């Protein structure tokens, strides 16, 4: 019987990629920080239906390989174990959040969950938020968010309207992966803004709660048809000075008018007086 499985990109675990993998588009928006926006979504392959959790053999090989790396890598074992834990975690269908990095406060998690619950209830779109302290086994945040998305939603039908927002505390960057319907609805401008501005700017000040919540607010607002609340605004032309009141303008005009009147009336009189003085002097 023919078997299909999803591709594990960059895998070094001996699991051969087969047809039925994700297809996607990647756009680099900040080369210095490797800030990229990745659209990844699953496709059923060869007319065969994938099992709910992907190919069992490949999953076992992946788990075994990761476990071996954890056991033989004392330096980065904790980081690898953390990545392994996230990949093995159940889909957070009700909680929407896997705060493996422990960077979100209780109030922050509550606010984010409320936004995501409302989003799914009103639009059908589902966004999962994952936080990590650092990535070591898969250092590219987009590659790791890909793996999370593929693990939780292995088919196009499951992942078409799903998304994963990943925040990495140590490197102060993030990644966004999602199905084609999800990414198309959010749009490149919002995705680029979150990856290149919202996350790195706020994370640089250790404001991880705000960075995560603001990213969620931008995504949910656009998906709900409200527009991006944090879209860049066009800069207004700078004024040369403070704005004057109507009374000040009128006062200035009156002063100028009086000065002109004095000049117009006073000049002929001054000329007449000067002429008379010169004439009187000549007569003397």
> What local confidence, expressed as pLDDT, does residue 73 receive?
44
C-alpha of 207 from chain center: 14
Max distance between CA atoms of the chain, in angstroms, equals: 135
> What local confidence, expressed as pLDDT, does residue 233 receive?
74
pTM here is 0.62
Over the chain (284 residues), the average pLDDT of each successive run of 10 is: 35 31 36 40 38 45 48 47 88 96 96 98 98 93 96 96 98 97 97 97 97 98 96 58 58 65 63 66 64
> What local confidence, expressed as pLDDT, does residue 14 receive?
30
Both structure tokens of 256: 């100028």
CA–CA distance from 168 to each of 3, 44, 51, 54, 212 (Å)?
Answer: 35, 31, 30, 26, 11
Residues constituting the chain: 284
Domain ranges, ordered by start, for the chain: 23-43+71-223, 244-272
> What local confidence, expressed as pLDDT, does residue 232 receive?
82
> What local confidence, expressed as pLDDT, does residue 270 receive?
60
Pick the CATH number of 23-43+71-223 from 2.30.33.40, 3.90.1200.10, 3.30.930.10, 3.10.310.50: 3.10.310.50
| Contact indicator for 117, 96 with CB cutoff of 8 Å | yes
- State how far the Cα of 9 lies from the Cα of 251, in Å rounded to an integer: 74
């Amino acid at each position: 019987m023919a078997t299909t499985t999803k591709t594990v990109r960059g895998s070094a675990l001996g699991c051969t990629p087969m047809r039925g993998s994700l297809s996607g588009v990647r756009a680099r928006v900040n080369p210095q920080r490797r800030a990229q926006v990745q659209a990844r979504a699953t496709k059923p392959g060869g007319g065969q239906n994938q099992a709910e959790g992907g190919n069992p053999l490949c999953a076992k090989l992946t788990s075994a390989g990761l476990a071996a790396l954890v056991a033989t890598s004392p330096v980065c074992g904790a980081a690898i174990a953390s990545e392994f834990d996230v990949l093995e975690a159940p889909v957070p269908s009700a909680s929407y959040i896997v705060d493996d990095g422990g960077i979100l406060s209780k109030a922050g998690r509550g606010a984010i969950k409320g936004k995501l619950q409302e989003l799914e209830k009103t639009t059908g779109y589902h966004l999962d938020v994952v936080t990590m302290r650092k990535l070591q086994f898969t250092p590219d945040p987009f590659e790791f968010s890909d793996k999370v998305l593929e693990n939780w939603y292995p088919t196009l039908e499951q992942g078409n309207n799903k998304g994963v927002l990943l925040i990495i505390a140590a490197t102060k960057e993030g990644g966004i992966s999602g199905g084609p319907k999800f990414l198309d609805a959010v749009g490149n401008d919002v995705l680029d803004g979150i990856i290149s501005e919202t996350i790195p700017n706020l994370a640089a000040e250790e404001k991880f709660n705000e960075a995560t919540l603001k990213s969620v607010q931008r995504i949910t607002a656009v998906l709900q048809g409200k527009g991006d609340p944090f879209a860049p605004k066009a800069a207004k032309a700078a004024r040369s000075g403070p704005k004057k009141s109507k009374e000040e303008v009128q006062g200035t005009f009156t002063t100028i008018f009086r000065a002109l009147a004095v000049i117009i009336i006073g000049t002929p009189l001054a000329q007449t007086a000067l002429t008379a003085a010169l004439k009187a002097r000549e007569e003397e």
